[in-house]
Amino acid sequence: MNQAPPALDLVDETFIVVPPGTVTAAFADPRAWARYWPDLVLEVYTDRGDEGLRWTVRGALVGTMEIWLEPVLDGTLLHYFLRATPAGPSGEPRAVTPRELRREFDKRARAAKAIALGLKEILEDGREPGVAPRAE
């Protein structure tokens, strides 16, 4: 049986000037997932340690989501992938109009960037790329 491709295929990248392990810690607690994605139910299917997480997604969407943490220079490139389809009341993928899909894509893209930039602000704590972290 052929499965339809996901209606949403969202990719985002944000550079954060901290090691991957620091970013990993921000996603370690499942309670954080509920804050970042309150309308989604996530279940880890691959824990890649300091390289990130892969989840199955249920709730408002049905599909998969991933954060991949790539060490780059003195920081981490946070890659975010969401491949999912809006779900109906039964939790199954539902048909959406092109207009609904554009709105959903925009909503999810803005939310992904807000999460990444929020983490960047908190985790970097003012540190500039190429500048050593402050001594504790």
Quick: pLDDT tens for 39-89.
999 999 999 999 999 999 999 999 999 999 999 988 999 999 999 999 998
**Quick check: 127 and 134 in contact, CB under 8 A?**
yes
Summary mean pLDDT of the chain: 91
Q: Which domains does the chain have, with CATH numbers?
A: 8-124 (3.30.530.20)
Question: What is the DSSP pairing of strand 75-86 with strand 52-59?
Answer: unpaired
C-alpha torsion 88→34→120→68, nearest 10: -70
pLDDT digits (tens, 9 = 90+) for 90-134: 889 888 899 999 999 999 999 999 999 999 999 998 877 777 766
**Quick check: 79 and 61 in contact, CB under 8 A?**
no
Q: Is the overall model pTM greater than 0.75, yes or no?
A: yes
**What pLDDT, on a 0 to 100 scale, did the predictor assign at position 54?**
97
